[in-house]
Each structure stands twice: as structure tokens, then as C-alpha cells.
Amino acid sequence: MKLFDSELKVMNVLWSKGSRTAKEISDILKAETGWNMNTTYTVIKKCIAKGAIERSEPGFLCRALIPKEAVQEAETDELIGKLYDGSVDKLFASLLGRKQLSAEQITRLKQLVEGEVEP
């Protein structure tokens, strides 16, 4: 499922705070992004239409239907396919070549690759 940046903002509220009413989501996003209520409700409705959010009553309660990890995985796969010819090696080489890593970061990456720690 492809989610646009605006839809990800709504989903991030639900992923971080759990189920919320549309009003609560609107209040949070107004403070974070300056969105008005109509903008937030429009984006929520798009997420509902995509099957990313379930709406229930009372109070237009919204619940995420897809886990954040599933969206991260899909977005990562798309990025690798689009920009790195489907090669995870090329992605890692690009990431590692952009920034000097600390010894601690290198150790953590080795542990991740070896399956010793969770991401």
C-alpha cells in the first residue's frame, strides 16, 4: 500500500498514540503542522478508502489497520527497486559512503547483520 506524506502524518499519530478520534488527530496535527480540521479529515478519509484506517463510532474513532513496519518495508522495497536497481548492497554502500560512522554505530550495524540485535 502506497501512502503519501500527508497520509503518513495521520498514520504516525495513530502508530505513536494508538486509536484516536478524528478530532484528536486534527488537534495533534494542527499543533505539529498547522493543518486545519478539514485538511485532516480529508486525509483521514483517504486513509479509510485505502484500507489503512478503520473508522468506528462513537466519535469517529480511528484505528490503524496496517502496522508501521509493513509500510516501512514496502517503502524500503520501493526505494531499493527505484533507486538502487533492486540491490540492497548498493543501498548500503550509498548510506555508508555518505557519512562517517562512529565505532559504536559500526558495531551496532555488524550486530544487526549477524542477527544479534533487533533493528
Residue found by looking up cell 478539514 in the block: 38
For domain 5-64, the question of CATH label 1.10.3720.10 is answered with no
Phi first, then psi: give them for residue 4, nearest 5 degrees: -80, 165
Neighbours of 62 (CB within 10 A): 24
Q: In the chain, what is the straight-line distance between the N-terminal and C-terminal CA atoms, in Å?
A: 22
State the pTM of this model.
0.80
Domain ranges of the chain: 5-64, 68-113
Predicted local confidence at residue 119, as pLDDT:
67
Q: Could you tell me the three cell numbers for 73?
A: 518495508
Q: What is the pLDDT of residues 13-54, one digit of tens each?
A: 999 999 999 999 999 999 999 999 999 999 999 999 999 999
**Looking at the predicted structure, is the pLDDT value of residue 105 above 80?**
yes
